[in-house]
A and B are shown apart, each in its own frame.
Chain A
């Protein structure tokens, strides 16, 4: 039996040490994920805690395939919790803008030496609508159909929001003085 598999089985029986192990491994990166969606640190902690609660309580539904499957499942739970939190706060002002802005995106790639923390900070500063669609599509890998379902918008709106988010992120990174290199 795999190490993670045995940890998950222990978590199902309510073993505190196993639960603590899962929390220690995944909590930091999941906290960052939550913060990318909700911006506020307190809200991110609340979303994280609710997400872990849901994970431990619904663990009997989880089927272990590999180590990656556990992280994917955890991330999905956290994203759903974050979106639910934003819906409760009515903080999802996504404007229906069907204009396709993908052509306005610069083909230049940013410098590879760009610090990851600055990119992270730039993403967090994006407007909520842009940030949601960018996080879901560019980082989590959701399709536009899935995003449209999750956020209750049309597919066209999702695409336009994504292109606008990319353009805004580029300008933000330029403004902080980073040089861009041309993409291949």
Chain B
């Protein structure tokens, strides 16, 4: 056994007897005042302040959010009114109109098809062209003498008189085709034809222009004025390799 332990025990017991005696120098009340002041100023207030701050932040966010939503709604309601004031009306969504197909006996003639487009690729001073143009620019109301010009097959330059004989079936198909062409409005394509080809077509007489339309062109007689030589077409441009290479 260590000899120091009873000595330590004796000291401990002696000091314990002192514990209940108030120390002379100790200012108990003064220390308590300071302690009380420290205890009840700082730590208790902290959670309350934090709680209030959170509430304030939440209220602020709520107010900002509601005001933002309200302003957005006001803008949405004010927009049509301003359009009405300015004379504008908002475009309303409308369903796409479905046009019913015309009856079989009905004849639909779009206005645009009666108009010829200029053929710029061939510069010719042919009177037959003028005649053809005149025939084509007639109003659509004249049913009998109307010439049908298919944009893809414009071959009949130089032909002075052409009579289009159309069967009843052809009329129906034609009317259908016209509806189609009016709806799609394709660009007119003109084929550049050499003069020799034109001569050949004249010789053929009857020519099937298009398989779909079954349009039969009947050449009745000959033109009053047939080009006999190359001098008749002073402005014609010969289609040769040189001309292509120059371009």
Contacts and interface: CB of A to CB of B under 8 A. Distances in A.
Interface in B1-54: 2-4, 6-8, 10-12, 14-15, 17-23, 25-28, 31-32, 34-36, 38-40, 43-44
Interface in A18-70: 19-20, 23-24, 27-29, 31-32, 35, 41, 45, 48-49, 52-53, 56-57
Contact of A166 (B7, B36, B44): B7
Contact of A27 (B4, B11, B31): B31
B31 A117 contact: no
Nearest to A14: B44
B162 to A, nearest CB: 112
Given A31-B26, A110-B10, A138-B11, A105 B31 contact: no
Interface residues of B, number: 32
A53 B32 CA distance: 11
Interface in A63-99: none
A161 interface: no
Interface string A102-122: 100101011010101101100
Contacts of A14: 39-40, 44
A176 interface: no
A72 to B, nearest CB: 14
B11 A139 contact: yes
Contacts of A32: 15, 18-19, 23
A160 B28 CA distance: 37
A108 to B, nearest CB: 9
B174 to A, nearest CB: 100
A85 to B, nearest CB: 15
B32 A16 contact: no
Interface string A139-157: 1000000000000000000
A104 B14 CA distance: 23
A134 B48 CA distance: 46
B32 A20 contact: yes
A166 B19 contact: no
Residue of B2, B4, B17, B36 with most chain A CB atoms under a 10 A cut-off:
B4
A86 B8 CA distance: 24
Contact of A29 (B12, B20, B32, B39): B20
A104 to B, nearest CB: 11
B113 to A, nearest CB: 97
A163 interface: yes
A41 B25 contact: yes
Contacts of A31: 23, 26, 28
Interface in B160-199: none
Contacts of B10: 109-110, 112
Given A32-B23, A41-B25, A183-B6, A23 B35 contact: yes
Contacts of B21: 28
Given A27-B31, A28-B28, A116 B14 contact: yes
Contacts of B18: 32, 116-117, 120
A169 B180 CA distance: 125
A32 B221 CA distance: 146
Given A45-B27, A138-B11, A166-B8, 5 more contacts: A28-B22, A49-B34, A53-B35, A138-B8, A166-B7
Interface of B: 2-4, 6-8, 10-12, 14-15, 17-23, 25-28, 31-32, 34-36, 38-40, 43-44
Interface of A: 14, 16, 19-20, 23-24, 27-29, 31-32, 35, 41, 45, 48-49, 52-53, 56-57, 102, 105, 107, 109-110, 112, 114, 116-117, 119-120, 123, 137-139, 162-163, 166, 169, 183-184
6 contacts: A16-B36, A45-B31, A105-B3, A110-B10, A139-B8, A183-B6
